[in-house]
């Protein structure tokens, strides 16, 4: 059983991309191989980052709580809508708080949009972000186009194509999680 944390990073009223996060949560749970923790950034009221958590004189309790969960995760799935050709500011703000929490972790990239591209631009930029935080991006990203049509409010896929894309993403992602977890056990980083 792997500890997987989903970090969902949109706080917009009426946000639809939460469906993509729920879809991945459901699919990971259905494998029976993952213990999933869902972090919704909206619940934590993180201020705009002025100091990384490790440098904060008075650590923000929300940032501390997220840190603990990320630290214990074998893998993290980052989920974002595409805003102005990129990932959401809220997700990036949260990511910037943390350092060692990401180190050499397998990261799943999930993007969603209401258009047909599924957040392709955001997903490409997420790959660069994952490199910057010293982690490994799973090459099979999940892009959810027309999120309002392809997933219902519980994250249940509405087409066979969407169902297949989610399952393929999860299968490849858990393969990477397993590979990295095994390697860390036999050859620890710290
Ligand atoms: C500020 C803003 C910028 C957006 N920019 C894009 C964009 O660049 N590309 C795109 O496909 N959709 C864009 N959208 C539409 C989102 O894809 C759409 O809102 C979708 O439902 C996912 O975002 P949500 O979780 O906020 O609902 C934008 C939406 C907002 C609010």
pLDDT at residue number 92: 98
Residue closest via CA to ligand 1's atom 28 equals 83
Residue 25 has pLDDT above 80, yes or no: yes
- Region 18-37 average pLDDT: 98
- pLDDT tops 90 at residue 190: no
- Which position has the token pair 């459901």? 26
pLDDT digits (tens, 9 = 90+) for 101-117: 999 999 999 999 999 99
pLDDT(188) > 90: no
Mean pLDDT, rounded, of the chain: 97
Residue from 25, 141, 135, 6 nearest 69 by CA: 6
| CA 119 from centroid of its chain's CA atoms | 14
Confidence of residue 29 (pLDDT cuts 50, 70, 90): very high
Instruction: Indicate which CATH number applies to the domain containing 51.
Output: 3.40.50.360
CB distance 61 to ligand 1 below 6 Å: no
Total structural domains in the chain? 1
Q: Which structural domain, as residue segments, surrounds residue 47?
A: 2-186
Average pLDDT of span 153-165: 98
State residue 173's pLDDT score. 98
| Token representation of residue 68 | 């603990």
The string of DSSP codes covering 23-84 is HHHHHHHHHTSEEEEEEEGGGT-PPPPSS-GGG-SS--HHHHHHHHHHHH-SEEEEEEE-BT
Q: Is 122 in the pocket of ligand 1 (CB under 6 A)?
A: no
Sequence-distant (6+) residues with CB within 8 A of 95 are 78, 102, 129, 133
**CA-proximal residue: ligand 1, atom 1 (nearest):** 83
pLDDT at 189: 76
Cα angle 81, 100, 125 (rounded to 5 degrees) comes to 30
pLDDT at 34 over 90: yes
The model's pLDDT over 92-150, given as tens digits with 9 standing for 90+, comes to: 999 999 999 999 999 999 999 999 999 999 999 999 999 999 999 999 999 999 999 99
Name the more confident of 74 and 187: 74
Mean per-residue pLDDT for 44-57?
Answer: 97
139/169 Cα distance (integer angstroms)? 9
Distance 41 CA to ligand 1 centre (A): 17
Residue whose CA lies nearest to ligand 1 atom number 29 = 83
Which token pair is 189?
């980083």
Is the CB of 51 inside a 6 Å radius of any atom of ligand 1? no
């Amino acid at each position: 059983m792997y500890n997987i944390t989903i970090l969902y990073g949109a706080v917009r009223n009426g946000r639809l991309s939460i469906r993509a996060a729920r879809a991945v949560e459901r699919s990971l749970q259905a494998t029976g191989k993952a213990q999933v923790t869902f972090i919704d950034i909206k619940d934590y009221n993180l201020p705009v980052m002025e100091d990384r958590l490790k440098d904060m004189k008075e650590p923000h309790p929300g940032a501390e709580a997220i840190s603990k969960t990320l630290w214990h995760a074998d893998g993290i799935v980052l989920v974002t809508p595409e805003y102005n050709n990129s990932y959401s500011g809220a997700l990036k703000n949260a990511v910037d708080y943390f350092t060692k929490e990401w180190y050499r972790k397998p990261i799943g990239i999930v993007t969603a949009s209401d258009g047909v591209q599924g957040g392709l631009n955001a997903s490409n930029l997420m790959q660069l972000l994952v490199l910057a935080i010293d982690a490994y991006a799973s090459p099979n990203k999940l892009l959810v186009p027309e999120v309002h049509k392809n997933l219902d409010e519980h994250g249940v896929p509405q087409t066979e194509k969407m169902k297949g894309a989610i399952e393929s993403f999860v299968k490849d992602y858990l393969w990477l999680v397993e590979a990295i977890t095994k390697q860390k056990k036999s050859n620890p980083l710290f």
